[in-house]
């Protein structure tokens, strides 16, 4: 069993033992075998975190990275497996900048990782398009990040939903919206949804304020953003869902901090242009918040 959410993935893959067991379970479900001779007579050397093949041949020692896309990379499995999890679990894709912010590595390294992962998964740009009869479990189609996404299952109750709010969070917001689909538009629904989200934000404000204070206090001595966002209080804030988005934007506006990962996790959006510095990223998120009516 692996992680189901980004928060769980960050915590799960931060352990080198979890990374090894996860990769071994998926690569060798029937038991570890030597990647060079295929033999099962292997011995795990815990001191060196590797195996040694019992057969006599060259390069008898190996690790779970041997013979994979991770083998010649100086980056650890904690970075690789988190990036891999993000690529395969984001149905609308993931950029190298998202991987860069989630893992704490450079954008250049994140770009390299994402391209190598896509190549291994058969997602390289030169791949041919699917043809004939193609079956998919679900689809995510949107050209405008601020556009509305039609959800047939919600037509009887809510008509449509605002794209940045996930389907799992939508039911808690639909009770106050009973607009026919024919009358629904971004102009009519956006103010209603914004008011609902703001109202819920006020209800969770005390909890958010307490968690934010605790997070700042406990991480003020840390210099790396990747370590700051691993704090339990930060994860609890991300787990509060869309209701906390106005509060995150307000905090970003009044007292700039590392809220970008939390905003991306709770909105599934990334309005920050590639190559942006922290000031530009802050401005992009605040502009997104104003466009969606979440901040003044």
Whether the per-residue pLDDT at 97 is higher than 70: the answer is: yes
* Listed residue (277, 241, 271, 278) closest to 7, CA to CA: 241
pLDDT digits (tens, 9 = 90+) for 20-42: 888 888 888 888 999 888 888 89
Tell me the average pLDDT across 260-272. Answer: 83
Query: Residue 280: pLDDT band by 50, 70, 90 thresholds?
Result: confident
What is the chain's mean pLDDT, rounded? 76
| Segment of 67-76, 127-136, 201-210 carrying the highest mean pLDDT | 201-210
Question: Residue 207, exposed/middle/buried by CB under 10 A (0-12, 13-18, 19+)?
Answer: middle
Cross-strand bridge partners of residue 45: 50
pLDDT band of residue 173 (cuts 50, 70, 90) is very low
Rounded to an integer, the average pLDDT of 173-193 is 44
Mean pLDDT of 245-251: 89
For residues 273 and 280, what is the distance between their CA atoms, to the nearest angstrom?
8
Residue 44 is given by DSSP the state E
Quote the distance between the C-alpha of residue 92 and its chain's center. 11
* 80 CB-near residues (< 8 Å, 6+ apart): 70, 73, 113
Q: Model-level pTM?
A: 0.43
Residue 150 confidence (pLDDT): 37
**Exposure on the CB side of residue 18, measured as CA atoms within 13 A:** 16
pLDDT tens digits along 41-83? 898 888 888 899 988 888 888 888 888 888 878 888 899 999 9
Could you tell me how far CA 135 lies from the centroid of its own chain? 25
179 exposed, middle or buried (CB, 10 Å; 0-12, 13-18, 19+)?
A: middle
Q: Residue 139: its pLDDT value, please?
A: 54
> How crowded is residue 63: how many other Cβ atoms within 10 Å of its Cβ?
17
162 membership: H or E segment, kind and range = strand 161-162
Selected residue with higher pLDDT from 199 and 283: 283
């Amino acid at each position: 069993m692996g992680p189901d959410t980004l928060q769980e993935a960050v915590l799960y893959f931060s352990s080198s033992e979890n990374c090894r067991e996860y990769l071994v379970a998926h690569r060798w479900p029937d038991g570890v075998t030597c990647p060079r001779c295929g033999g099962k007579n292997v011995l795990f050397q815990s001191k060196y975190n590797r195996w040694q093949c019992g057969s006599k041949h060259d390069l008898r020692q190996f690790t779970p990275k041997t013979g994979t896309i991770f083998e010649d990379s100086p980056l650890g499995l904690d970075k690789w497996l988190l990036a891999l999890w993000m690529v395969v679990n984001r149905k609308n894709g993931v950029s190298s900048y998202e991987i860069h912010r989630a893992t704490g590595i450079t954008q250049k390294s994140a770009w390299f990782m994402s391209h190598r992962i896509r190549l291994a998964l058969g997602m390289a740009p030169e791949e041919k398009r699917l043809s004939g009869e193609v079956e998919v479990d679900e689809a995510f189609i949107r050209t405008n990040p601020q556009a509305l996404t039609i959800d047939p299952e919600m037509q009887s109750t809510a008509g449509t939903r605002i794209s940045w709010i996930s389907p799992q969070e939508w039911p808690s917001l639909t009770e106050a919206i009973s607009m026919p689909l024919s009358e629904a538009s971004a102009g009519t629904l956006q103010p209603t949804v914004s008011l609902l989200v703001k109202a819920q934000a006020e209800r969770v404000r005390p909890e958010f304020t307490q968690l934010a204070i605790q997070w700042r206090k406990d991480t003020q001595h840390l210099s790396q953003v990747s370590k700051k966002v691993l704090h339990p209080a930060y994860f609890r804030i991300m787990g509060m869902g869309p209701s906390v988005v106005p509060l995150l934007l307000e905090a970003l506006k009044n007292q700039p901090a590392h809220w970008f990962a939390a905003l991306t996790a709770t909105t599934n959006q990334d309005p920050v242009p590639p190559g942006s510095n922290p000031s530009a990223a802050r401005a992009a998120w605040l502009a997104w918040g104003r466009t969606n009516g979440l901040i003044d």
